[in-house]
Amino acid sequence: MLSNISLQLAVLASTTIHDDRIPLSKYTNTFAVGNLILMLLTVIEAIITVALAIHMYNKSDEYHHLSHNSKSDSPQQLQSNHMSAAMSVPVAAIAIAEFFFTENIHMPVVLFDRYSIVMALFLCLQSLVSFRSIKSGTRCITP
């Protein structure tokens, strides 16, 4: 019984399991610097959107305290601004995940590859979300 277990352990120890660390990079065999740039722009835009949403919230709160005027539609507009800003975080997270699942830095470097279109779509989506957040935020603070 003990020899059977040691034989199974010896077989398991000699077995090589090929594990793809970056599962989707085997389709391109390159590392695209453009994807890194697009991913970083998406993340930076998400950070700026969230920071502006916080700033606009503080500014609108300050405006309402100074004017002693609380409109009934202002909380809905603030909530819309927060939802738009909150939507930018998952877009950035998905862009980061897509980058790490598709890029292998040990491969030859190129400017763009087949996943660059997906990264560009994430950047466009992030731009739309940011624009909507900023647009709804400016409506909150105007009298």
The DSSP result for 101-134, as a single string, is HH--TTSPEES--TTHHHHHHHHHHHHHHHHHHH
pLDDT at 106: 80
Q: What is the pLDDT of residues 110-135, one digit of tens each?
A: 888 888 899 999 999 999 988 888 77
Looking at residue 100, what is its pLDDT?
A: 87
Contact, 141 vs 60, CB < 8 A?
yes
Rounded (10°) CA dihedral 33, 34, 37, 41: -160
pTM, 2 dp = 0.67
pLDDT at 44: 95
pLDDT at residue 105 in the model: 80
Strands (E), the chain: 31-32, 109-110
Which residues of the chain register pLDDT less than 70?
Answer: 1-28, 60-81, 137-143
